[in-house]
Amino acid sequence: MFKFIFGFLFFIVYILKPSIGLAFDSSDPSVSLLQNRISNNFSRKYCNAIQNGFSKDEAMKSAIVKTENIISFSYNPQKKWIEKSDLANQISLQVVSDCGRSIGLIGKDGVNYFKSYFLEIYEKTTPDKNFSR
């Protein structure tokens, strides 16, 4: 009888508190794909502007405005689920990967710097808009 009660209690505890291995990420892959397209588009525009001799500020403003215009006219309903900080992080990773060396940004420090720089310029350039909405 003791084994039965002990086994039953163990079973109840296991059911009420499942192990971490059973958890999974339920994010929508279409949101990730849209976020990838946006970050690739932004990175391409920013890096091209830098290569064409624009200053960092000019290149940033230009890429933000051009990318924002594309997103604004997009009918993709998934854009409302994109978080600004996640998108900024992904854009930063993409830019540092694509042309970070040419602008002196390398590794995690470069990504963090570009992310804060991007968010600062984005707020100044489009204070009434939101990239993802």
Under the banding of pLDDT at 50, 70 and 90, the label for residue 9 is: low
Under the banding of pLDDT at 50, 70 and 90, the label for residue 69 is: confident
> Does the pLDDT value for residue 34 go beyond 50?
yes
Dmax (CA) for the chain in angstroms is 81
Under the banding of pLDDT at 50, 70 and 90, the label for residue 78 is: confident
Under the banding of pLDDT at 50, 70 and 90, the label for residue 126 is: confident
Backbone dihedral region of 107: left (phi > 0), alpha (psi from -120 to 50 degrees) or beta?
left
Do residues 103 and 56 make contact, with C-beta atoms less than 8 angstroms apart?
yes
Q: What is the pLDDT of residue 17?
A: 56
Is the pTM for the entire model greater than 0.85?
no
